[in-house]
Amino acid sequence: MSVSSLSVPTVPAARRGLFALVVRRLVAMGISLVVALAIVEVVLRLFHLAPAQGIATVNAKQFQRIPGMFAPNQRIRDLQKPALPYVVTIDSLGFRGGEFTRAKPANQLRVVMLGDSYVYGDFVDDDQTFPVQLEQRLRRACGDALVINAGLGGTTIVDQAQELQRTLPLASDVVVLVYVADDIANLAGSKTSWELLAENRRSKSRFPLSIVYPVLRSTALWNLALKARANRLNRAGETSLSQDYSRDSASTLDRLRNRYGEALVALRDTLKAHGVRFVFTMYPSYAELRGGSANLTWLEGFARSHGIAALNFSAALQASGLPNTTLYRLPEDGHPGPTGYAIAADTLGKRMLALGGLPLCKGGQGDHVH
């Protein structure tokens, strides 16, 4: 039988028409979806319902290359709360603040500050953060001083211990840990912030998110979704903790406090093994400043019993006589403001110099910091 005699199957006209109709409808649906998303994006931006920019954390490749936890070389005006806009700069090593070299200069006092958003500096400009204000005071007494902002919002001591390991190659002379009110409660979550960050790195480093993520991260829709996810995780953690407390509040609190205490001693011992000085501080929330805190009282006693000098900023903040609306970003937010950070930086700077033994610092006495 010849080739010419073979018949070629054809698609019936009705089937071709149905296929074309399905394609047209899918295209129309796709266009409608894009238009709808574009309208939502415009509305979110127009009414300031969600910021169009946010600071991104590192992806998998960046995590291997730099010590900081933020994607390098970012600069934005953060509008997560329109009433409290602030400028954030991330350097090439993934830390908030200006550039510095990995290798420490011979005549430099280098400090790493660990903590959550109180250290990072939510709702204050780059030059108003706690680490920067401490650095300014140390420079007056020590000449070349650098305070590295290793703050990361939503973390607690187990996450900060992980970040400490990443900063050890930076050869700091001193590490400052800043405890805040929710650090003990945050230990109750089923996953640590460090584990959640690892999941985030894996997700945005895989195809197709690895391709579209650079575009998505600059949309209000994406940032709204991130905020909703964070709120959901926070509510889940609060629910889990409240359920634990309802079953046996005393034992739950004791368990979380003991876990924090064990991590604190381990962090102190790690630094001692590397010949790095450790300064442990406690920054009260505005509610604790007004009404006191059983956790702060417990923590001061625990630190004292384990030979850890603890500096509680409550006394200095109260002694200022300033209202909470000046010390914190109230009424819009409960984070500290520039004035609160200035008082804490003065107090911490004096304590660090009084300890003595800091390289190149005049006399090692607190009266050199004003």
For residues 298 and 312, the answer to whether their CB atoms sit within 8 Å is no
Closest CA to 149 of 170, 141, 158: 170
What was the pLDDT predicted at 109? Answer: 95
CA 218 to chain centre: 19
Contact 132, 91 (CB under 8 A): no
pTM metric for this prediction = 0.84
Residue 92 has pLDDT above 50, yes or no: yes
Q: What is the pLDDT of residue 241?
A: 44
Cα–Cα distances in Å, from 327 out to 40, 72, 91, 323? 37, 31, 28, 7
CA 74, CA 56: separation in Å to the nearest integer?
Answer: 8
362: which 2 tokens? 């005049």
pLDDT score at 238 = 47
Burial status of residue 314 (CB atoms within 10 A of its CB: 0-12, 13-18, 19 or more): middle
Which band of pLDDT confidence, cut at 50, 70 and 90, is reported for residue 264? very high
Q: Enter the DSSP assignment of 181.
A: T
Q: Is residue 194's pLDDT more than 90?
A: yes
278 pLDDT more than 90: yes
Given this model, what pLDDT does residue 240 score?
46
Does pLDDT of 186 surpass 90?
yes
Q: At 10, is the pLDDT very low, low, confident or very high (cuts 50, 70, 90)?
A: low
Identify the residue with better confidence: 47 or 336: 336
Are 144 and 138 in contact, with CB atoms under 8 Å apart? no
Between residues 218 and 116, the one the model is more confident about: 116
Q: Return the residue matching tokens 């979110």.
A: 44
In this predicted structure, what is the pLDDT of residue 37?
Answer: 58
pLDDT tops 90 at residue 292: no
Predicted confidence (pLDDT) per residue in 149-182, tens digit: 999 999 999 999 999 999 999 999 999 999 999 9
Query: What percentage of the chain reaches a pLDDT higher than 90?
Result: 64
> Quick check: bond before 331 cis, omega within 30?
yes
In CATH, what is the architecture of 60-368? Answer: 3-Layer(aba) Sandwich (3.40)
Q: Are 131 and 119 a contacting pair, CB within 8 Å?
A: yes
State the pLDDT at residue 245: 47
Query: CA-CA distance, 190 to 95, in Å (whole number)?
Result: 27
